[in-house]
Structure 1
Amino acid sequence: MRKAGNEQSRPPVKRRLKTKPVLVVLGILLAGNLLWFTLWATKDGGSAAEGSEQVASVGKTSITREDWMAAMESQYGRETLRELVNRSVMEAAAKKYGIRVSDGEIDLELALLRSEGEGTSDAFGETDGSLREQVKSRLILEKVLTKDVIVEDGDIKRYYKENEALYDVKSAYRASVIVLPDQEEAEKALKELDNGSSFGVLARERSIDAASASLGGDIGYVGESSENIDPAIVKAAEGMKEGDIAGPVTLADGTVAVIQVSGVYKGRSFKFDEVKDQIRRELALEQLTQSVTPEAFWNEFDAQWFYGDE
């Protein structure tokens, strides 16, 4: 088990980009919806016996697979299909307007996302691939909207100089926590982990922090700029390696946490030439009088869906 050393100070950012990536909710929604879509898509292809298969029961009352999938369709169906249509519409727009999104551009957006402590949750089995696709679709939309907007080179350089610290992205750590009432309970949890217990399962069973417990303890990426994470968690996570477990760590409210790091993003500094296109796009977006969503392009690319007119 390892704990980090001294925290490094980060210069204040004078102005934040108006359209900074905030994909936490989108990532979780997409992943949950895609899970639902996979199950729903198999409904008609399965046999009647599979549809009536019991997936749960309460006393003598059965809940069938058909009941389960119908409930998921009601809750997630519309937004799942919307996301899939929007992604296809953006791909069509990219081809029509000759727009390309490079891996480097996606990497930059993800780095800025992690630097804000806005990492996504694996609660619904989200993958890095699905998150990258989300970022790619958003970048295509932004490039279409700003392709004819003029931004002076001087404004781009000035913004970079004023906000250079924003592009000095520090290391971020994908962390999970088990929050317990006292040191004794934390020691018991550590012992169970040493004996092979699953961190995620233990977090769901034992953690008194309901929000993270429901996600198997996952709190996303943490680092120097994490504003809503207890500083003791950030300090403990910094410097840990993937798979490390640390604790007990006393938190500000007197509770005690056990921490696991499941992934490490190594920080880096982005130079002007690497971010000038992103700054130009962000400044161009600020000139637009109203926000535009992918749905605005549905008619242009003859997009139709099960739910009728959008």
Structure 2
Amino acid sequence: MRRKALWGAGMAFLLLVGCQGKKVAEVGKEVITQREFYEMLESMYGAEVLRGLILQKLVVQAAQQQGLVPSQGEVEVELQRLKQGFPSEDAYFRWLKQNGREETDLRRDLFISLALWKLQTKGLN
């Protein structure tokens, strides 16, 4: 749920620039514009989204500094492991679509998760 909120708020911010006056809803005779909608999202989740982005960047930078950057192969292994949890490839892609995600988003998330895991477990092996 939190991830969806963060993702939604991030997308809202990006879309704000191009869609400021477009109508998203009408209540009686009053219109709610995309600008109003996105400003509300940003006010509710903006700081949380920014903190999340900062933490992601810090994780990747720390992994780079310590030589713990996950390889594409490691990301691929985790992606395949995740896909095995679905009854079919179609089910996997439906899940992505239902969550408003693409496989590239998932790969990025897996990359960051692996980098964090490597940082947390460094020296434990």
TM-score, normalized by the shorter chain, greater than 0.5: yes
Query: 1:31 and 1:81, CA in 2 relative to 1: closer, same or farther beyond 3 A?
Result: same
- 2:114 aligns with 139
What root-mean-square deviation, in Å, do the aligned CA atoms of Structure 1 and Structure 2 show?
2.6
Q: Does 1:65 align with 2:40?
A: no
1:35 alignment partner, SS class: helix
Superposed counterparts of 1:91-130, under 5 Å: 91-117=60-86, 119=92, 120-123=95-98, 125-130=100-105
- How many residue pairs are counted as aligned between the two chains? 118
More helix by share: 2
| Larger-gyration structure (1/2) | 1
Contact 2:59 2:112 in 1 (8 A): yes
TM-score where L is the length of structure 1: 0.34
Q: 1:54 to 1:75 in 2, by over 3 A?
A: same
The 3 A distance-change label for structure 1 pair 29 and 67 is closer
Map of 1:36 onto structure 2: 12
SS at match of 2:26: strand
**Structure 1 pair 33/134, CA: closer, same or farther in 2 (3 Å)?**
farther
Aligned-partner SS, 1:121: helix
In structure 2, give the amino acid aligned to 1:142. Answer: W
Indicate the structure with greater strand content: 1
Give yes or no for contact 2:96–2:103 (8 Å, CA) kept in 1.
no
Q: Which amino acid aligns with 2:63?
A: A
- CA 1:63–1:27: 2 relative to 1, 3 Å: closer
Runs of 5+ unmatched residues, structure 1: 1-24, 151-310
Q: How does 1:14-29 map to 2 (within 5 A)?
A: 28-29=4-5
Deviations 1:35-62 (A, max 9, x none): 223124x2xxx7xxx74x2513222112
Partner of 1:284: none
Secondary structure class of the residue paired with 1:57: strand
The answer to whether the 8 A contact 2:75-2:107 is kept is yes
How does the TM-score come out when normalised to structure 2?
0.75
The percent of aligned pairs where both chains have the same amino acid is 31
Q: Which runs of 4+ in 1 moved over 6 A?
A: none
